[in-house]
């Protein structure tokens, strides 16, 4: 049994997609980030980071923050969506690291300055839009002739997809990015993605 501390953001949805794909028992503990739930004392006792997602594995008494670590933990625990050995394992970890260290932070800052900070300096908006658009271009090239970012559907796709899904809110035009457009449609049609977003909306 798992508990997922969740808010309906890209980082939150990654883990919901994985839990739905695994079809395991879990409950959602919804935090309202705008109200500052992440700073509540009961949450601070679980994690030093004041951020979602956070996973509790009750069977192992494990409390795990950081979406990349959570995806890897779930993949290894259930032997799904991450090859155990070999070059394909490192291809998945490479793209997972890319999402965690590049796409997430750049798109996250871009979203902040564009959508949440009405006074944002032009330089900040311009810089993060360019950084985010360049990362979309990287992905567009990497997806050439591929259904998924690695050989098979993996935790790397689960990590990347929620950030692409918000392309309109990021003001990144994907009309000229046919590989990303097809990838988004392919992933959006998956059962666990549909159910993850439905459960996230109800949480």
Judged by CB under 6 A, which of 22, 24, 29, 33 binds ligand GSH?
A: 33
d(CA 158, CA 111): 20
Residue 53 near residue 6 (C-beta atoms within 8 A) = yes
Judged by CB under 6 A, which of 13, 51, 167, 199 binds ligand GSH?
A: 51
Cis status of the peptide bond prior to 150, with omega within 30 of 0: no
| 72: contact with ligand GSH by CB under 6 A | no
| 53: contact with ligand GSH by CB under 6 A | yes
For ligand GSH, give the closer residue by CB, 52 or 164. Answer: 52
Q: How far is the CB of 48 from ligand GSH (least distance, A)?
A: 12
For ligand GSH, give the closer residue by CB, 71 or 150. Answer: 71
3-state SS string for 30-78? ECCCCCCHHHCHHHHCCCCCCCCCEEEECCCCEEEECHHHHHHHHHHHH
* Longest pairwise C-alpha distance within the chain: 49
| 11: contact with ligand GSH by CB under 6 A | yes
| 100: contact with ligand GSH by CB under 6 A | yes
Of 68, 89, 62, 83, the residue nearest 15 (C-alpha): 68
Q: Which stretch binds ligand GSH (CB under 6 A): 48-56, 86-94, 140-148, 150-158?
A: 48-56
Footprint of ligand GSH on this chain (CB under 6 A)? 7, 9, 11, 33, 38, 50-53, 66-68, 100, 104
């Amino acid at each position: 049994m798992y508990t997922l501390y969740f808010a309906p953001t890209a980082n939150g949805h990654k883990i919901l997609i994985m839990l739905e794909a695994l079809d395991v028992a879990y409950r959602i503990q919804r935090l309202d980030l705008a109200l500052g739930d992440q700073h509540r004392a009961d949450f601070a006792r679980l994690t030093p980071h004041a951020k979602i997602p956070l996973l509790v594995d009750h069977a192992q008494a494990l409390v795990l923050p950081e979406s990349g670590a959570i995806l890897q933990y779930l993949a290894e625990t259930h032997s799904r969506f991450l090859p155990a050995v070999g070059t394909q394992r490192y291809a998945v970890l490479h793209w997972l690291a890319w999402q965690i260290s590049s796409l997430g932070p750049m798109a996250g800052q871009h979203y902040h300055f564009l959508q949440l900070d009405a006074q944002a300096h032009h330089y900040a908006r311009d810089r993060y839009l360019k950084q985010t658009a360049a990362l979309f271009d990287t992905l567009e090239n990497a997806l050439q002739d591929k259904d998924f970012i690695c050989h098979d559907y993996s935790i790397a796709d689960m990590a990347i997809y929620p950030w692409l899904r918000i392309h309109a809110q990021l003001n990144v035009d994907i009309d000229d990015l046919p590989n990303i457009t097809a990838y988004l449609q392919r992933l959006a049609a998956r059962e666990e993605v549909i159910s993850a977003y439905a459960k996230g909306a109800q949480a």
